[in-house]
Amino acid sequence: MDLSKHQPNHNRIVIILQAAGNSTRFGSNKLLHIMEDGRPMICSILDAVRDQDISCRILVTQYPDVAALVPDFKVVMNDAPALGISHSMQLGIEAAGDAEAYMFCVCDQPHLSAETISKLVEAYYDGSAGIVSLAWNGKMYSPKIFSSRYRDELMAVSGDTGGRQIIANHMEDLLLVEAADEREVADIDTPYRLWNYRGEQYSISEALQITLPEQAVISIVGAGGKTTLLTAWARELASSGKRTVVTTTTHMLDPRYVQHGSYDPYQGIPAVILDHPTAEPDTALLSQIDGLLDKHQPAMVISADPDRPGKVKSLPSWVMEHICKTADAVLIEADGSRRHPLKWPAPWEPVVPDNTDITVCVAGLSAFGKPLREVMYRADDLPDRLFRETVDETLITAVLASLDGGQKGSHGEFRVFLNQADNEDLRKIAARLQQILGVQGIQSAWGMLRTDI
């Protein structure tokens, strides 16, 4: 092997940032998601790359708003992101010219440090390997460096395989560099964080330990994040190829009434709203719904409520029957809580359809330690045996486990999701609640459905 390539001329290595993904599971362009420091997510990797002693930095993106953030980078617009990450790699390679090596970075690892990127560059120049990859506990992650002698192979891959197959074919030429911290290798595919007793999880289905049937009807009840869970789960399922519908059997906020600049749980989910529902099937409407599902994007299907402007309501039975037959997953908001983090159901609540396969009860941990009457919807209906002035662990678990409370009207498998675990103290409380519920045979998960990551 020619070791002369490892002379430390760092200007001959090119960093290629891949920023052309569709952020399907995230629901919006995650690279522009505002982080805790008040800046878009992508700014972290931009800073880390700018700190390197490397003259050529290339950004491949489909987004003009992202391109505008890097006047000091060579920008390549990807007009065909559907061709996958391999296409972005190849656009970057073509723009790199006579480079000695290519470092490929994704832009959704906000905790990747400049020091770790420098370690990868130094490892490439100090050793003899033609492929260098960041790793954690021996598992490969981005960034990866490829010698230019792999150029032809990189230009021949397709879809989302990227460089994986090339690495598999040349394991003898691979060097792994361990990250300093596990957070460095974490890529952000969703705007939420989830846990169960096994630790952090990366999908709602996994966190709740649910294996969905081929056609699933999921009803969500309780308080403290039902709509956010519903829509986040819908995007997750649709991104995996499932034909997914969001609807309600009670009332929800009309997506047309979401105020500009405020939090929008429906972002990225097109809505079919029946302004004048009919008693007889409307074939044109059903075709419209099917057309959205064929695009593998979640669709919200609801009826307008002329008596309650700003709200939408349940569907005629013929529409509900059609979506349950044609969709792979139907997610139903089956309860109301007037934005409280806890609730006790009225005699007529919740409205869980008989064909429900999974019922999930949501509770908001922001209620913990607060006066009960301030944070529980229908607190006056709570049985005297459960009542207490301040919300504590005993109250939350008793409400969620009660057959007249959290489990009321449930069908199929039952799960609990503890939302608003927004800090370490609340996550510890959630873990204790999970143990108490587990003793009663109730599986649960906890997390932050709205987070600045």
Tell me if 100 sits within 8 A of 3, measured CB to CB.
no
Q: How many residues does the chain have?
A: 453
Domain ranges of the chain: 3-185, 193-448
Structure token digits, residue 157? 């891959």
pLDDT for 9 equals 46
Report the top-level CATH class of 3-185. Answer: alpha beta
Q: What is the mean pLDDT of the chain?
A: 90
Q: Which residue has the higher pLDDT, 262 or 256?
A: 256
Residue type, 373: R
Q: For residue 26, name the pLDDT band (cuts at 50, 70, 90).
A: low
Tell me if 57 sits within 8 A of 74, measured CB to CB.
yes
Listed range (2-16, 353-367, 379-393) with the worst mean pLDDT: 2-16
Q: What integer is the mean pLDDT of 218-247?
A: 93
CATH number of this structure's domain 193-448: 3.40.50
What distance in Å separates the CA atoms of residue 283 and residue 178, rounded to the nearest whole number?
A: 57
Is the predicted pLDDT of residue 386 greater than 70, yes or no?
yes
Q: For residue 36, name the pLDDT band (cuts at 50, 70, 90).
A: low
Is the predicted pLDDT of residue 130 greater than 60, yes or no?
yes
Is the predicted pLDDT of residue 286 greater than 90, yes or no?
yes
Q: CA distances (Å), 321 to each of 212, 227, 248, 279, 318, in order?
A: 19, 22, 13, 13, 5
Percent of the chain with pLDDT over 70: 93
Is the predicted pLDDT of residue 261 greater than 70, yes or no?
no
Q: For residue 12, name the pLDDT band (cuts at 50, 70, 90).
A: confident
Is the predicted pLDDT of residue 452 greater than 50, yes or no?
no
Q: For residue 265, name the pLDDT band (cuts at 50, 70, 90).
A: confident
Q: What integer is the mean pLDDT of 328-341?
A: 96
pLDDT for 394 equals 96
Q: CA distances (Å), 49 to each of 3, 45, 46, in order?
A: 26, 6, 5
Q: What integer is the mean pLDDT of 407-418?
A: 98
Per-residue pLDDT tens digits for 45-92: 999 999 998 879 999 999 999 999 999 999 999 999 989 899 999 999
CB atoms within 10 A of CB 257: 10
Q: What integer is the mean pLDDT of 151-159?
A: 94
pLDDT for 160 equals 85
Is the predicted pLDDT of residue 299 greater than 50, yes or no?
yes
Listed range (19-28, 263-272, 381-390) with the worst mean pLDDT: 19-28
Pick from 7-11, 87-91, 291-295 the range whose average pLDDT is largest: 87-91
pLDDT for 2 equals 41
pLDDT for 182 equals 85
Listed range (140-149, 173-182, 288-297, 357-366) with the worst mean pLDDT: 288-297
